Structure 1
């Protein structure tokens, strides 16, 4: 993948993280990602840094779904509200 594509994937996963946090679903699941200090807007960071950030976001998202099944996530009232605004 080209760096631009990696950054776009990073941005997409970052938005999922934000949705979970705003819905109150993420309870420390993204600490590793936050400690990396690499965000999608940090385009000066290396491709490898963005790949590592993507892996940490995927790990956090996986942990959320291990604790809360996807159908339960979608039934969360705050998540429903956020998805209506986004969609």
Structure 2
């Protein structure tokens, strides 16, 4: 994958993150992504940096989606 394609994918994943957080009303844990300091607009960063950011962001999104899905499927305890 070319650097330009990775930057585009990075931007798309950032939009998916924003949409997911807006839908759930919660901000998920993206510490591994945030610690990289690479954003979709960081075009000066290397291809390798964007690749690591894409993987970290995708992992954070899917982890939070699994957590959210599990919370939705677990029935609430009767009081």
Q: Give the TM-score normalised by the residue count of structure 1.
A: 0.71
Query: Which segments of 5 or more consecutive residues in structure 1 lack a partner in the other structure?
Result: 73-87
Query: Which segments of 5 or more consecutive residues in structure 2 lack a partner in the other structure?
Result: 73-79
CA distance in 1, matches of 2:50, 2:41: 10
Q: Which has the larger radius of gyration?
A: 2
User: Does structure 1 retain, via aligned residues, the 8 Å contact 2:38–2:53?
Assistant: yes
1:78 paired residue number: none
Q: Give the TM-score normalised by the residue count of structure 2.
A: 0.77
Aligned residue-pair number = 70
Instruction: Establish whether residue 22 from structure 1 lines up as the match of residue 22 from structure 2.
Output: yes
2:40 paired residue number: 40
